[in-house]
Structure 1
Amino acid sequence: MTITQLQVLVTAIDTGSFTKAAQTLNMTQPAVSHAILNLETDLGVTLLFRDRKKGLILTDVGESMLFHIRAILDHINKIEQEVAAEKGLEIGTIRVGSFSSASTKFLPRIIKIFRQKYPSLKIVIFEGSLDEIEDWLSTKKVDVGFVIPPRKEMDVISIAKDKMVVILPKAHPLSKTDSIHINDLENEPLILCRGGFESPIIDIFKKSRVKLCAEFTVSQVNTLLKMIQEGLGIAIVPNLIIEHLPNDLCIRTLEPTFCREIAIAVPSLKEASIAVKLFIEEMQNLD
């Protein structure tokens, strides 16, 4: 069993195929296949198999071993970073879990900063839902992730406040004012968006003691906007998720002001690598 074999296995699982793993690692596809086959031979177990529809699937033993393999590679990465730091260098890879609006808001700027200040540090981005990011953190698929607090069994560092706003058709009666009070939304049909966006909205109504009329729940912001355009309801959303608003819709301020907190989380700040601590420090210094 070699470090290269472990790296090949993890890369194959993360990319979903031997071909993509080969491209990521600058190897040939047969070399990737042989590395994993040799690892399975050394261990005497089958770690994964290929499915035409689902791609690479871990066996039960492969699933249980993946956590430990990631931990081994994580420790090796930390060793390499500490040795490099002793020589006055910053090297390594930071795997970042992010949801879409956080990616748009923060990642372009932080990547630019790292390219300028730490050119030997590589940032790899995994985008998904808030639940997926929490799972990736617990399984060590990512080193650090953008989250919405609270998050259990993690160290969480707050980085921003995201104001909640109301989206509605310009023809809606409530659009005539610059702001909408939460009391005005009692029994108003609302469209919620999954992926962690619905929880803050439910909390707003509970705290305000206003009845929430959740007419629909969707998974995509574009679907939510289309349904509002069709007059099927209105929505309360974090301001950051709105990138392009259709011309027939408008945004109104919600009163009283409600904000959701955006944070970055790590399984353990104490055990975080030098590179991850640099990432956290730079995120805290963003304007």
Structure 2
Amino acid sequence: MNFYYKEHIKFVMNKVQIELFVKIAESGSFTRAGQEMNMTQPAVSRAISTLEAELDVQLLVRDRRGISLTEVGKRILVAFRDILKGFGKVEQEIAAEKGLEKGLITIGAFPAASSYFIPKIIGAINRQYPQLEFRLHEGTIAEVKEWLETGVIDVGILIPPTDEFDSFPLFREKLYAVLPAGHPLAKKSVVKVRDFEKESMLICKSGYEPPVVELFERTGVNLNVKYVINSYHTALNMVREGLASAVMAQLSLLSPPDGVAIRELEPPAYRDIRLAVHSADRCSIAVRLFIDTALKLFAEGEEGDLKPEAGIDRIHM
């Protein structure tokens, strides 16, 4: 691959160098990257040294603490990921022309969405296109957005706002009041948002909180946040211990622990889940297939198909 600058400087890079640099950056190890690409340690070192010499910049810093990227290395990493995706798109186009659909789809999702949506989507695709490969990254909403922005993943499952990406509505899930089983509000079948006015509440951050904050603002109720956490599993256990109450979304309540009461909210509230890509126009064939399959499986279904209410019957009061 040739890059020309100022008409007289030519950089010559090949796919192996680009892929090797990306693997080193992501794994933090020359050894692991070499093993993945069947290259010896000396060969890996020579390839990276040659790449840095051709670009005339230092990409990696190697010291006793390990390997880190220079500032220009971080920027080039994003560009190299795009280049590799371009190679992948070419390979997929050629394979599709020959009737041999294949490719790699890298997905990012927050855990609750990952556990529910991803197995069904991959299962449906694998039955028709077994040669496709998948790589899954699980993290917070904030992390998924960062991975999408920096090219670590091809497609992410997010909740709004997603204005910086091209996105597609996947599912609308209901919000519920979540209380300790012995809480006075647990005696009600429907809990009003204003009932939480003086309650100690916990809230999940890192991108999970916008629908809950918006609900309290819309109803003019003060959200008295006592605990701020990132994990819904931790949130449920804290509610069970009587530390606080919460408003949580449907996907997080499919398998609630004993000692937690889940009640309808008034007014009803919902959280939208969307599929997001950096650019819909630049998606590979494989990523478009993933999106089309996901929308067919979930977006065309009726609201409430997840039925978390089935779990409510198992809660010990």
TM-score per shorter chain, which class? over 0.9
Query: Is 1:282 the equivalent of 2:303?
Result: no
Q: Distance in 2 between matches of 1:221 and 1:231?
A: 15
Deviation sequence 1:200-249 (CA, Å, 0-9, x none): 11100011111211122112223323332332210111121235422122
Q: Which runs of 4+ in 1 moved over 6 A?
A: none
User: Which residue among 129, 138, 142 is the counterpart of 2:153?
Assistant: 142
C-alpha distance 275-211 of structure 1, shift in aligned 2 (>3 A): same
The whole-number CA distance in structure 2 between the counterparts of 1:23 and 1:225 is 41
* 1:224 corresponds to: 235
User: Take 1:235 and 1:90, find their aligned partners in 2: how far apart are those partners?
Assistant: 45
Q: In the alignment, what sits opposite 1:62? A: 73
User: CA–CA distance in 1 between the matches of 2:252 and 2:42?
Assistant: 42
Match of 2:142 among 109, 116, 131: 131
Sequence identity percentage: 42
Contact 2:240 2:258 in 1 (8 A): no
Alignment correspondent of 1:49: 61
TM-score calculated relative to the size of structure 1: 0.92
Question: Alpha-carbon deviation of 1:127?
Answer: 1.6
Note the C-alpha offset of 1:84.
1.4
Counterpart for residue 282 of structure 2: 271
* 1:235-278 C-alpha deviation (Å, 9 max, x unpaired): 11112123542212221122222110001011111121111111
Residues 71, 220 of structure 1: alpha-carbon distance in 2 compared, 3 angstrom cutoff:
same
Match of 1:7 among 5, 19, 22: 19
Q: Indicate the larger mover: 271-280 or 221-230.
A: 221-230
Indicate if the aligned counterparts of 1:49 and 1:56 stay in contact, CA closer than 8 A. yes
TM-score (norm 2): 0.84
Aligned residue for 1:113? 124
Q: In the superposition, relative to structure 1, how do residues 28 and 177 fare at CA in structure 2: closer, same or farther (>3 Å)?
A: farther
**Pair 99,19 (structure 1): closer, same or farther in 2 beyond 3 Å:** farther
Asked if the contact 1:188–1:213 (Cα under 8 Å) also holds between the matched residues in 2, the reply is yes
State how far apart, in whole Å, the 2-side matches of 1:171 and 1:30 are. 64
1:16 aligns with 2:31: no
Match of 1:246 in 2: 257
Aligned partner letter, 1:161 = R
Structure 1 residues 187 and 52: CA distance shift in structure 2, 3 A: farther
AA at the equivalent of 1:221: Y
8 Å CA contact retained: 1:148, 1:262:
yes
Paired residues, number:
286
Q: CA separation of 1:13/1:171 partners in 2, compared to 1, >3 Å: closer, same or farther?
A: same
* Structure 1 residue 13: Cα displacement: 1.7
SS at match of 2:291: helix
Q: Contact between 1:149 and 1:156, CA under 8 Å: does it hold in 2?
A: no
In the superposition, relative to structure 1, how do residues 116 and 247 fare at CA in structure 2: closer, same or farther (>3 Å)?
same
**Structure index of larger Rg:** 2
User: What are structure 2's unaligned runs of at least 5 residues?
Assistant: 1-12, 299-317
Distance in structure 2 (CA, Å) of the matches to 1:101 and 1:50: 37
| Aligned position for 1:35 | 47
The secondary structure found in structure 1 opposite 2:107 is strand
SS in 2 for 1:149: coil
Q: Which residue of 1 aligns with 2:206?
A: 195
1:63-89: CA deviations, max 9, x gaps?
121122112111111111111111122
Partner residue, 2:245: 234
State the Cα distance separating 1:52 from its structure 2 match: 5.0
Opposite residue 204 of structure 2, the aligned amino acid is C
Separation in structure 1 between the aligned mates of residue 35 and residue 264 of structure 2, nearest angstrom: 47
Change (3 A) 1:12 1:272: same
Aligned-pair distance for 1:30? 4.8
| Distance (Å, rounded) in 1 between the aligned partners of 2:265 and 2:140 | 25
Maintained 8 Å contact 1:197/1:237: no
- On the 8 A contact 2:140/2:230 being kept in 1, the answer is no
Q: CA RMSD in A?
A: 1.9
Counterpart amino acid of residue 48 in structure 1: L
Contact 2:192 2:266 in 1 (8 A): yes
Matches within 5 A, 1:68-83: 68-83=79-94
Change (3 A) 1:188 1:127: same
